[in-house]
Amino acid sequence: MLNVEQIAVTFNEGTPDEKRALKQINLELKKGEFVTVIGGNGAGKSTLMNVISGNLIADVGNITINDKKVEGLAEYKRSRFIGRVFQDPMAGTAPSMTIEENLAIAFSRDKLRNIRPGVNKKRKEIFKEYLQTLHLGLENRLNARVGLLSGGERQALSLLMATFTEPEILLLDEHTAALDPARAELITDLTTEIVKKFDLTTLMVTHNMQQALDMGTRLIMMDQGQIILDIGEEEKQQLTIKDLMNEFQKIRGHQMVSDEAVLG
Partner 1 sequence: MFLSLFGAVETGAIYAIMALGVYLSFRVLDFPDLTVDGSFVTGAAVTAVMIMNGTSPLMATVLGALAGFLAGCITGIIHTKGNVNNLLSGILMMIALYSINLRVMGSPQISLMNDDTLKTQWGDIWDATGIDGVLNGMLETFGMEKLPSTWGIVIIMLLVIFLIKFLTDYFLKTEVGLALRATGDNQRMIRSFSANTDVLIILGIGLSNGLVALSGALIAQHGGFSDAGMGIGMIIIGLASVIIGEALFGAKTIARATFAVILGSIIYRVVVTFALRADFLEAGDMKLITALLVIIALVMPKIVQRRKEKRRRLAKRRALETEVSEHA
Neighbours of 100 (CB within 10 A): 20
Phi then psi dihedrals of residue 91, to 5 deg: -80, -25
**Would you count residue 117 as binding partner 1 (CB under 8 A)?**
yes
C-alpha dist (Å) from residue 255 to 39, 206, 242, 250: 13, 19, 12, 9
How is the beta sheet containing 2-11 ordered, strand by strand?
19-29, 2-11, 60-65, 68-69
What is the Cα–Cα distance from 44 to 68, expressed in whole angstroms? 24
Strands 201-205 and 34-38: parallel
Selected from 45, 84, 207, 236, the binder of partner 1 by CB under 8 A is 84
Selected from 31, 77, 197, 242, the binder of partner 1 by CB under 8 A is 77
What's the closest the beta carbon of residue 123 comes to partner 1, in angstroms? 11
Q: Which one, 105 or 239, has the nearer CB to partner 1?
A: 105
What is the Cα–Cα distance from 96 to 180, expressed in whole angstroms? 24
Selected from 36, 47, 50, 93, the binder of partner 1 by CB under 8 A is 93
Range 1-30 burial, b when 16+ CB lie within 10 A, else e: bbbbeebbbbeeeeeeeeebbbeebebebe
194-233: which residues touch partner 1 (CB under 8 A)? none
**Would you count residue 53 as binding partner 1 (CB under 8 A)?**
yes
What's the closest the beta carbon of residue 183 comes to partner 1, in angstroms? 20
**Would you count residue 72 as binding partner 1 (CB under 8 A)?**
no
Q: Which one, 1 or 90, has the nearer CB to partner 1?
A: 90
- The CA angle 201-204-210, to the nearest 5 degrees, is 125
Q: Which stretch binds partner 1 (CB under 8 A): 16-24, 84-92, 132-140, 241-249?
A: 84-92
**Would you count residue 185 as binding partner 1 (CB under 8 A)?**
no
Tell me how many residues contact partner 1 (CB under 8 A): 35
**Contacts with partner 1, residue ranges (CB under 8 A):** 53, 74-77, 79-80, 83-84, 86, 90-97, 101-102, 104-106, 108-110, 113-119, 161-162
